[in-house]
Amino acid sequence: MHRLAFQIIHPERRTTSVVFASPHSGRDYPRSFLRQSALNEHAIRSSEDAFVDELFETAPVHGAPLLCASVPRAYIDLNRSEDELDPALIEGVRKAGHNPRVASGLGVVPRVVANGQAIYNGKIPRAEADRRIETYWRPYHTALGLQLQEAQRQFGQAILIDCHSMPHEAMDSVARSGIRRPDVVLGDRFGAAAGEQIVDRIEEAFYQAGLVVTRNTPFAGAYVTQHYGRPSKGQHAVQIEIDRSLYMDERTVRPNSRFRSFKKLLDGVVGEIAAIGRPVEQPLAAE
């Protein structure tokens, strides 16, 4: 029996064009995969956006659907194109041009987790990679596409918020001495994936919550923002990366003492972001 690729939490009534999605917080690790892996059950979680689905779980309360991956990133990466196949991992795949994500081991079927730790002792069959894409990748993207289509049909636009987390050390190169390091990185592919006014309002929501925000450095957005962001067609996609140290212990992969307070803070941000996609109420005509 196959595991579910994802779950969708629907609002009682959809009131906004915003769709929240968490492609990397899945933690349903197949036992056969864990047996096959060279890593232990703890190390294999290092590339997981742990608890991001929980941080954003109030999105439906604000009238927006929330799509959460169930399958883990180490098994299949839903933020990659299905053709980003790694010849160093998958048997029978030929190298086709230079793709930095694939070259670093982070293709649609990842070869490594954080810090370049190899997931497998050797290669896997092409049929296995194809099965994971067919069973998990395609259903997730079909569901995401349908949610965005429904948003556009109902509200005339769709705003995808692609929710992620980043290691605290990811901002070491960005943080300068004397300047508070960013807590959040917004990725809109340097304006190609979302309208500037929408990104400005998302940034303001985090700023008003007391968080330091930067854009596109070092994360500008990957496949999801690139594929779904078409601002000229009313389709906006913004990737959000949140510093994991704000709410979890990265070493033990467990919520830290600030988890509940940070989640409450983020609920306000989620509400503000959902409001961006809410139609402006028309004034009642004078009687």
- Please give the backbone phi and psi of residue 259, each rounded to the nearest 5 degrees, phi first: -55, -50
Give the dihedral sign, CA 200/255/25/251.
Answer: positive
pLDDT for 178 equals 61
pLDDT for 204 equals 97
DSSP alpha helices (H): ranges in the chain?
31-36, 52-55, 100-103, 126-132, 138-155, 196-208, 223-228, 259-276
pLDDT for 177 equals 58
Residue identified by tokens 């965005």 is 148
Please, which residues bridge with residue 185 across strands? 214, 241
Q: pTM of the prediction?
A: 0.93
| DSSP, residue by residue, 173-228 | TT--TTSPPPSEEEESTTTTSS-HHHHHHHHHHHHHTT--EEESSS----HHHHHH
Cα(5)–Cα(210) distance, rounded to whole angstroms?
35
| Nearest partner of 62 among 286, 272, 244, judged by Cα | 272
> Exposed/middle/buried for 60, CB within 10 Å: 0-12, 13-18, 19+?
buried
pLDDT for 275 equals 96
Residues in the chain: 287
Domain boundaries, the chain: 6-276
> Exposed/middle/buried for 286, CB within 10 Å: 0-12, 13-18, 19+?
exposed
pLDDT tens digits for 2-32? 468 899 999 999 999 999 999 999 999 999 9
Q: Answer for the pair 179, 66: CB distance below 8 angstroms, yes or no.
A: no
pLDDT for 115 equals 81
Q: Which CATH class is domain 6-276?
A: alpha beta
Q: Per-block average pLDDT, block size 10, for the chain (287 residues)? A: 80 97 95 92 92 97 97 96 94 83 92 91 94 96 97 97 93 69 94 96 97 92 95 97 96 94 97 92 45
pLDDT for 176 equals 65
